[in-house]
Amino acid sequence: MPNYLPQKSKRRMSNYVPLRLEDYDISPNNGFLPSEPPLQRLSDPYYEPWEHIMDRFNQYLLAHHIRRLVREMPVLDTSKLTSPAEFQRAFTILSFIAHAFVWGRNGAASEPASEFLPPSVSIPWVSAAEYLQLNPVVCCAAVCHWNWQILDPNAKDPMDIDNLGTLYTFSGSMDESWFYLVTTAMEAKSARGINAILDAIIGVEEDNPSRVTRALNEIAHSLRDANNLLERMYERCDPYVFYWKIREFLAGWENMAEAGLPYGVLYEGVDDTDTFSLDNWQSLIRRFRKYAGGSAAQTPLLQAFDIALGIKHYPTGEKGLQSSVDDARNRLQRRGVPEPPTANSYLVRMRDYMPGGHRRFLEDLASTCRIREYVLLACSDAFLQAGDEKDDRVVMRQAYNECVGLMKSFRDKHIMIVTRYIIAQAKNSPPSLVTSVAPVSSHIIPRSAHDQALARSSSTHPPGGRLGGDSLPADPTMYPQTNTTHASQPSSSSSAHIDRKNARLARKVDEGSVVRGTGGTDAIQFLKQVRNETANTKI
């Protein structure tokens, strides 16, 4: 059988060691989901204060008790957690508690989002996140990967979406459960595709186009399942309920000035927050953290398919960087390896919101997988234009292009969902649920000692507003976004303000304004560029 790889590639790949999913905490049967259903309770009674809140989580949130209960909760450590499954549960329930605390507002429309997260949550949450090697904020892993249960273990397909349930939701609604379960089922169904990616890599190693084609057909099967599941989002998740009742709880604290968190959130008890100087408010502001919220970009599944198919994504706003097929092939023939592209920084940064093993898998896959390069080199210009339909190289190219087409179709569907569930809803007036509200002071429970000291100390007021008070500087340009964990110092030159009492992520957006996703991006611009880059990958 002819070898389609240049000599340099053959030498480099001769030392290839096959990737094993188990080495990256990936299940051969469930993909990026755990092999077994997530725990439904931590066994050690030490953690009953957490479990007590989760036992009636929706009731407490509805009755406006979450902030009080969290402040009364003891500071527990994670030393008694004994397995990855226990750390996953701890991270998940602390994520729900933390976001309910920040965004829950105790049900008062006039109460702002909380800029402070008490030590009872922040300390163990950060500890669990460090063990799992991801950021302490709600993410796809928390609400989808580690938040499901099987309803009937004896079902023909236990992981079918109609046989799955969620453990927790913020709203207590079927809509929110369905929103999570579509992703959960997608992850389970796509395990077949993840295994096929590794098989395709071996096919490239063997210079076996037939094996590569079979693997690509398996990948296509998984992508068809993913497309079908995404289309089912409309069945049981209402756009109105999602936008106005669910979405805000999934937001993080990055690019959220318009939602009432211009500085981010301070994790009390972490990062030496007990030693800041009241004489210099900047010493405290620098310790605020800014994290993106839950986002589809945080699932390693889509990034794995992108890497496998050689789909490159570039910085948002940059166009025309995708090389032509001829240029890509010529470069490969000359050098044997592709030139590393400039990556989309948002997608790369979203890997910090994935468990460590999954992030490492993507990194190792990117350094190993050369499926697209193999197809490019195997198919000459003559075959690209008109080839023998029975030739194994032509069949392989067709299988590859089908996978790319299915990825584009998936992203088309995703854009449609974002348009219907977010963009269209943002153009409507908010629901009139509250006709009158009590003064803010009657709802706010005193914070920690140093928070109260801030409120009393005139020397700690940031320019343009009181930290922890009713208003804060509003201009998002005052807070330069960096790749660091913590917030940047705001500018002292602006006098712009926002009404933090009424600032919300779920709100009517002015015509022409940017509608941000929970990850903090310009949702439509980002998704359209990703979709177009996918389409341009076709050979």
State pLDDT tens for residues 366-410: 999 999 999 998 887 666 565 567 788 889 999 999 999 999 999
Please state which of the ranges 118-127, 170-179, 243-252, 266-275 shows the lowest mean pLDDT: 266-275
Q: What is the pLDDT of residue 464?
A: 34
Q: What is the pLDDT of residues 276-286, one digit of tens each?
A: 555 567 777 88
Q: What share of the chain is helix, strand, coil (3-state, %, to 5)?
A: 55, 5, 40
> With the C-alpha atoms ordered 241, 177, 96, 293, is the resulting torsion angle positive or negative?
negative
Its pTM stands at: 0.84
Cα 517–Cα 257–Cα 315 angle in degrees, nearest 5? 45
What pLDDT, on the 0 to 100 scale, is given for residue 440?
A: 30
**Residues flagged as binding site:** 414
Check whether 108 has a pLDDT greater than 50.
yes
Q: How confident is the model at residue 17 (pLDDT cuts 50, 70, 90)?
A: confident
Going by their DSSP bridges, the two strands 116-117 and 266-267 should be labelled as: parallel
Cα–Cα distance for residue pair 403/200, rounded to 1 Å: 13
Over 90: is that where the pLDDT of 453 sits? Answer: no
Average pLDDT of span 189-214: 97
Residues 128 and 86 sit within 8 Å (Cβ to Cβ): no
CA distance 433 to 395: 58
**51: Cβ–Cβ under 8 A, 6 or more apart, which residues?**
41, 42, 93
pLDDT of residue 317: 77
Residue 360 has pLDDT above 80, yes or no: yes
Say whether pLDDT at 486 is over 90: no
Task: Return binding residues for heme b.
Answer: 414
Output the CA–CA distances (angstroms, integers) from residue 109 to 26, 231, 239, 437, 499, in the order listed: 42, 34, 21, 7, 12
- Checking if the pLDDT of 107 tops 80, the result is no
**Which CATH topology does 7-29+189-233+296-428+526-535 take?**
Methane Monooxygenase Hydroxylase; Chain G, domain 1 (1.20.58)
Q: Angle at which helices 209-231 and 392-418 pack, to 10 degrees?
A: 20
Closest residue by Cα to residue 314 from 326, 323, 305: 323
Closest by Cα among 335, 333, 341, 336 to 310? 341
Kindly tell me if the per-residue pLDDT of 60 is higher than 50.
Answer: yes
Specify the pLDDT at position 443: 32
Domain boundaries, given as residue ranges, for the chain: 7-29+189-233+296-428+526-535, 45-168+256-289+437-505
Q: What is the pLDDT of residue 19?
A: 95
Q: Kindly report the average pLDDT of the chain as a whole number.
A: 82
| Sequence-separated contacts (24+) of 324-327 with Cβ below 8 Å | 325/376, 325/384, 325/539, 326/381
Range of lowest pLDDT (23-27, 98-102, 189-193, 324-328) = 324-328
